[in-house]
Structure 1
Amino acid sequence: MVTVTVSSKYQVVIPVAIREELNLHVGQKIQLIPYQDRIEFVPLQDIREMRGFLKGIDTDVPRDGDRV
């Protein structure tokens, strides 16, 4: 766990170890989600980066015999 300090301008610096682990880069959007008594930082991914992430997923859906 890493502790950061909120500046007088309400800014925080994300430590290098976390930036590298999450592969964050300058200008990347991060969604802030308030949850109970904490804030979650969720990096947003460009839709182009997500291309192919469902490759090989089983798309067969069991259907009732009387339905099309």
Structure 2
Amino acid sequence: METVTISPKYQVVIPKSVRRQLRLVPGQKVQVIAFGDRIEFIPLKPARELRGMLRGLDTTFEREREDRA
């Protein structure tokens, strides 16, 4: 676990080990979420990188009769 310090301008530096692990690059956007008493940074990925991530997902399921219109 890494520790960072908030600057007077409320900025933080993401530690190098975390940047490498998540393959973050300069200029990349991250989503910031306040979750309870913590802050979460979620890297946003280009749509091209997400292609094929649902491959192999089983989409067959039983529908109830009233679902069909």
How high is the TM-score relative to the length of structure 2?
Answer: 0.86
Q: Per-residue CA shift, 1:16-52, capped at 9, x if unaligned?
A: 1000111111111101101111111111111111000
Alpha-carbon shift at residue 64 of structure 1 (Å): 4.0
> Equivalent residue for 2:42?
42
CA RMSD of aligned residues (A): 1.6
Query: Secondary structure of the residue that 1:18 maps to in structure 2?
Result: helix
Taking the TM superposition and a 5 Å limit, the aligned residue runs for 1:24-39 are 24-39=24-39
Alpha-carbon shift at residue 56 of structure 1 (Å): 1.1
Taking the TM superposition and a 5 Å limit, the aligned residue runs for 1:1-68 are 1-64=1-64, 68=68
d(CA) in 2 for partners of 1:12, 1:34 = 15
Identify unmatched segments of 5+ residues in structure 1.
none
d(CA) in 2 for partners of 1:67, 1:34 = 37
d(CA) in 2 for partners of 1:20, 1:54 = 25
Structure 1 stretches of 4+ moved >3 Å:
64-68
d(CA) in 2 for partners of 1:20, 1:32 = 19
